[in-house]
Structure 1
Amino acid sequence: MSPELIAVLAVIVVAMAFDYTNGFHDAANAIATSVSTRALTPRVALALAAVGNFIGAHFGAGVAKTVGDGLVTLPTGIESLGVVFAGVLGAIAWNLITWYFGLPSSSSHALFGGLVGATLFSGGIVQWGNIVEKVLIPMVLSPVVGLLLGFLVMLLIIWLFRKGQPGKLNRGFRWAQTASAAAMSVGHGMQDAAKTMGIIVLALYTGGFQESKTHIPGWVFWTSAAMLAAGTYAGGWRIIRTLGRKIIDLGPPEGFAAETVASAVLYFNALVLKAPISTTHTITSAIMGVGATKRLSAVRWNVAGNIVIAWIITFPAAAAIACLAYLLVRPLF
């Protein structure tokens, strides 16, 4: 077995590990609202999310190509595979840290931060124009859009059903949440499995095993989708509790509104803009927007503030960890 093949396999293994942590770390994105409103039992919600993630991964080629070709430029060879390896390790470490503290940070931005940090530290080229256009601008805009749309959609629901009976409405919206949770799960797969696919394609190109930076082999779709689905089914209960209970007390109408808004934003970015946005940022901001329709004090802004701080430091923190990881793994590559 050649050294190049061993190095590529090492990157694929660590990318799959990231995919798995992404699944249990971000399971809350798809199911927290449905579980907290009792629209779905936890295990049914997780199974639905896993299936949705698996399906959505097969529609994420545009996002995967952005990650694989649009963020960093590395020369082919084993040393560059060490850069990718260290970048993904940085993302995994930050995922585990934020999971432990129950903070719904972005696995996506942890991955981007790790990749950029390791690339800069190794002397590689970061495509800053694409980073700003495809990562930083969407990172700022998607939460703002999620917040505003969540607020407006919830106002519309309140007005449309203002004469309805609360008990009957809650039962109806619990059924509707099955559909909105499924849509959210598919959107999560489009975004998050696609990022792992992009890393594997980058590794295959850098290792000299394919000539294209954008071609995604069929097995990459299936393995990335399966690993994300497995991680999702394992569940990330710490973060589910934060999103489902600690920001606001969600009812079925609020849960439906938040999931519908978040999935729409994910679909638009994945299919139209092909921009790799954060599912965590999108659903969390939608929940805040929905909650603000009750009254501003209904949102526990201290919890929301801790989440926003985690968002801000994710990129640089993952980058710093990736630099340390690169120092440790460089002799192996």
Structure 2
Amino acid sequence: MDTFALIVTIGVALGFTYTNGFHDSANAIATSVSTRALTPRAALAMAAVMNLAGAFLGSGIAKTVSEGLIETPHGTKGMWILFAGLVGAIVWNLITWYYGLPSSSSHALFGGLVGAALAGGIGVIWSGVVEKIVIPMFLSPLVGLLVGYLVMCAIMWMFRKSNPHKAKRGFRIAQTVSAAGMALGHGLQDAQKTMGIVVMALVIADVEDAGDPIPIWVKIACAVMLSLGTYAGGWRIMRTLGRKIIELDPPQGFAAETTGAGVMFSAAFMFHAPISTTHVITSAIMGVGATKRVNAVRWGVAKNIILGWFITMPAAALVAAVSFWIVNLAFL
């Protein structure tokens, strides 16, 4: 096995985790920052710490990613397939970050893996892709939209007789907790996805056997890189989530964050499903906003975001396929 290919692939995997952090940090804190519940730097610091903690809460999603989407490739070629898949995901993350589009880093990664596997002649487990990726991709935003709407309705009913100014101050404090829960769920979901890729690389290199526990150094490395990326911040996407979909107030921000965290924890612990934090929090914000009035949500912005969801996987797959062909010419 080419040790150089292994080192490069693990390095790029950690680089992807870093881009995931600054790309998706907005998911956890955009609502808290937009409602002024937290200052931007304090929110990022809190999210970084909670992302780090969330990475150690489980390993089910990592196993889903490493074993259930593509056939485990072999040899140096297999390692470069993983490398190309990661390049596809990173490139798409950078493009969508530049344009402030809250697309899914998770689906960029899955699309990159599938595109690189197809280009490299490796089997794709389509049943796993449909069951573990496509169905949750459609289901989780619908759940986020509905639950966000219901949670906000419940809050409005429970506090209907409260002083609006006092209630907003209370929810601004409560958002510290809900944002922390959102960041913890992001760490639980997204750090494990990269852990799965690193484990697959170690299996290809015969350093680990399939089914072995995830090495502690892999957990620490992925958690730290996600946390560092989060602290770097994703200001462009934060503006989209925090202000462009709807002008959020503290009760709405609390409802959206609580909904997003609840959906992510349920998906991770009950189904080991690698869902997109971006999809969940964006749809929750839409559901919460619709309780005010349907046209309070800027559906034109929402439409562009949803369009980005649909093109993420094929776009990342195309970049990954091109990357593999280039690597194939250079190294294989």
The normalised TM-score by structure 2 is 0.98
Taking the aligned partners of 2:247 and 2:28, their CA distance within structure 1 comes to: 17
Which residue pairs with 2:251 in the alignment? Answer: 253
Taking the aligned partners of 1:122 and 1:35, their CA distance within structure 2 comes to: 44
- Deviation, 1:74, is 2.9
Which residue pairs with 1:78 in the alignment? Answer: 76
Match of 1:150 among 148, 162, 171: 148
Which residue pairs with 2:324 in the alignment? Answer: 326
Match of 1:126 among 124, 127, 135: 124
Tell me the SS of whatever aligns to 1:259: helix
Match of 2:10 among 5, 9, 12: 12
Match of 1:237 among 221, 235, 238: 235
Deviations 1:17-63 (A, max 9, x none): 10000000001100000000000000000001001100001124100
- Deviation, 1:213, is 4.6
Q: In structure 2, do the counterparts of structure 1 residues 74 and 139 end up closer, same or farther at CA, with 3 Å as the change threshold? A: same
- 8 Å contact from structure 1 (residues 68, 214) kept in 2: no
Which residue pairs with 1:299 in the alignment? Answer: 297
Taking the aligned partners of 1:75 and 1:193, their CA distance within structure 2 comes to: 22
- Deviation, 1:332, is 2.2
Which residue pairs with 2:133 in the alignment? Answer: 135
Taking the aligned partners of 1:88 and 1:215, their CA distance within structure 2 comes to: 23
Taking the aligned partners of 1:214 and 1:121, their CA distance within structure 2 comes to: 28
- Deviation, 1:5, is 1.8
- 8 Å contact from structure 1 (residues 36, 250) kept in 2: yes
Deviations 1:171-212 (A, max 9, x none): 100110000000000000011111110000010001211122
AA partner of residue 332 (structure 1)? F
Q: Does 1:49 align with 2:35?
A: no
Mind listing any 5+ residue stretches in structure 2 that lack a counterpart? none
AA partner of residue 141 (structure 1)? L
Tell me the SS of whatever aligns to 1:229: helix
Taking the aligned partners of 2:66 and 2:212, their CA distance within structure 1 comes to: 7
Tell me the SS of whatever aligns to 2:128: helix
CA RMSD of aligned residues (A): 0.9
Deviations 1:142-185 (A, max 9, x none): 00000000000000000000011111001100110000000000
Q: Does 1:182 align with 2:201?
A: no
- Deviation, 1:215, is 2.8
Which residue pairs with 2:101 in the alignment? Answer: 103
Taking the aligned partners of 2:127 and 2:43, their CA distance within structure 1 comes to: 39
- 8 Å contact from structure 2 (residues 189, 268) kept in 1: yes
Show the 5 A alignment for 1:274-285. Answer: 274-285=272-283
- Deviation, 1:12, is 0.5
Mind listing any 5+ residue stretches in structure 1 that lack a counterpart? none
- 8 Å contact from structure 2 (residues 73, 79) kept in 1: no
Which residue pairs with 1:217 in the alignment? Answer: 215
Tell me the SS of whatever aligns to 2:2: helix
- 8 Å contact from structure 2 (residues 119, 325) kept in 1: no
What percentage of aligned pairs have identical amino acids? 61
AA partner of residue 123 (structure 1)? G
Aligned residues, how many? Answer: 331
- 8 Å contact from structure 1 (residues 149, 289) kept in 2: yes
AA partner of residue 321 (structure 2)? C
The normalised TM-score by structure 1 is 0.98
Taking the aligned partners of 1:217 and 1:127, their CA distance within structure 2 comes to: 25
- 8 Å contact from structure 1 (residues 201, 214) kept in 2: no
Taking the aligned partners of 1:269 and 1:203, their CA distance within structure 2 comes to: 25
- Deviation, 1:9, is 0.7
The structure 1 segments of at least 4 consecutive aligned residues displaced by more than 6 Å after TM superposition are none
- Deviation, 1:316, is 0.3
Q: In structure 2, do the counterparts of structure 1 residues 325 and 29 end up closer, same or farther at CA, with 3 Å as the change threshold? A: same
Q: Does 1:314 align with 2:312?
A: yes
